[in-house]
Amino acid sequence: MGFFGSVGGRVVGAPSILAADFANLAEEVRRVRDGGAELVHFDVMDNHFVPNLTVGPAVAAALVESTDLPVDAHLQVMRPDSLIPAFVEAGVASIQVQPEVTLHLHRTLEAIKNAGLEAGCALNPTTSPSVLEYAWPYLDYVNVMSVNPGFGGQAFIPEMTEKVRRLRELTDLPIQVDGGITAETAPLMVAAGARVLVAGSAVFRGDRAAEMRKIVEAGEGALGDA
Ligand code: DX5
Ligand code: ZN
């Protein structure tokens, strides 16, 4: 079973290495692992879909080699299809794409799954969950972006709790949330139905292990409200 298939009702911490020290990635991941991180969130940006430019398959492959945690690639790029084989080769465990720019979503999700990886969709803040109506059979998880993709450290968009709630009505698949997740916003998202908490700046601007643990525990505290 893949990582997302095993999430169940748990709250999972997924540090976004976008905010980490890129010169010391392996050590950064060791630190968040000590804080209970279970999944590494790897943001790929192409300066077209988003203004920012980050890292690609070569860095993903090095990271996969350096850790036993699964690596989840979030492709914030205009043409995800041409990158999928290289990320499969890099050894990532899952790949998520943005349906806003994925012309043939069925084909793309099938390409990810046929390679033995888990497949996800990340939805921009104003993208409706309804775009997934016919995609559910090919998905293993969904990511609700709670900021506009492109940069770490942006303010959480509070209306996204409602979107998580709506998605919870539509699917039992794990809901990931990404953007502005802190010990304050994590409980709101977990209460709404999210289980996988992506956090970048809230983790890597302080004591990595302690901040990771704080966010997961804050989320777990809201499980009763879910
Ligand atoms: C934004 C990325 C996020 C980013 C979140 O485009 O998808 O994963 O790292 O950063 P924070 O947690 O700082 O909002
Ligand atoms: Zn991301």
Q: What is the pLDDT of residues 186-195, one digit of tens each?
A: 999 999 999 9
Give the pLDDT confidence of 171-183 residue by residue, as tens digits. 999 999 999 999 9
Cα 218 to ligand 1 centre (Å) = 19
Ligand positioned closest to the Cα atom of 151 = 1
**Ligand 1 pocket residues where CB is under 6 Å:** 16, 18-19, 41, 43, 74, 76, 147, 149-150, 152-154, 178-181, 198-202
- pLDDT-based confidence at residue 33 (cuts at 50, 70, 90): very high
Average pLDDT over residues 64-79: 98
Give the pLDDT confidence of 136-156 residue by residue, as tens digits. 999 999 999 999 999 999 999
Cα 68 to ligand 1 centre (Å) = 22
Cβ neighbours for 178, distance < 8 A, ≥ 6 positions apart: 16, 41, 74, 122, 143, 144, 145, 146, 147, 198
Average pLDDT over residues 93-107: 98
Residue 116 Ramachandran class (φ > 0 left, ψ -120 to 50 alpha, else beta): left
Q: Which atom of ligand 1 is nearest to the CA of 145?
A: 7
Cα 101 to ligand 1 centre (Å) = 19
Predicted pLDDT at 117: 98
- Give the integer Cα–Cα distance in Å for 185 and 207: 19
End-to-end C-alpha distance for the chain, whole angstroms: 25
- pLDDT-based confidence at residue 226 (cuts at 50, 70, 90): confident
The radius of gyration of the chain from alpha carbons, rounded to an integer in Å, stands at 16
Catalytic residue among 46, 72, 140, 178: 178
Which CATH code fits 10-225? 3.20.20.70
Sheet harboring 94-97: ordered strands across?
Answer: 12-15, 196-199, 175-178, 141-145, 118-123, 94-97, 71-76, 40-45
Q: Closest residue (by CA) to atom 7 of ligand 1?
A: 149
Domain boundaries, the chain: 10-225
Q: Which residues surround ligand 2, an ion (CB under 5 A)?
A: 43, 74, 178
More confident residue, 14 or 226: 14
- pLDDT-based confidence at residue 225 (cuts at 50, 70, 90): confident
Catalytic residue among 43, 46, 72, 140: 43
Report which DSSP code applies to 84: H
CB-count burial class (<10 Å; 0-12, 13-18, 19+) for 130 = exposed
Is residue 222's pLDDT more than 90? yes
- Which amino acid belongs to residue 121? C
CB-count burial class (<10 Å; 0-12, 13-18, 19+) for 69 = buried
